[in-house]
Amino acid sequence: MDIAVDRREDGVVLAIAGRMDALTAPELEKVVRTLVDDGVAAVVADLSGLEYISSAGLRSILASAKMLRAGGGKLGFCGLDGMVREVFQVAGLENMFTVTATAGETFAAL
């Protein structure tokens, strides 16, 4: 899994690509912890490059959201497609988080 960090005026976009599984998912939490420590309040995870997400990946997403909330921040998502979108729907995450087509739309909705 690769995570590209793009700092913008309205927050940070994390472009996540590859496979988020038990081996790679903890990296998301490390990146989010650094952002929380830096005082970032809005994070959008762009999942358009994510090919696969396991239950460990879902756990890391929930843990990351909890870290951001504790620091007064918010987490949203964009670019969900295929299997990743299906997993979000089945897990009910589309109802828990702001999910839109683009990072700009997600920032506006957070």
pLDDT at 91: 94
pLDDT at 68: 96
DSSP state letters, the chain: -EEEEEEETTEEEEEEEEEESTTTTHHHHHHHHHHHHTT--EEEEEEEEEEEE-HHHHHHHHHHHHHHHHTT-EEEEE---HHHHHHHHHHTHHHHSEEESSHHHHHHH-
How do residues 34-74 score in pLDDT, each as one tens digit?
999 999 999 999 999 999 999 999 999 999 999 999 999 99
Confidence (pTM): 0.94
pLDDT at 82: 93
Q: What CATH code is assigned to 2-109?
A: 3.30.750.24
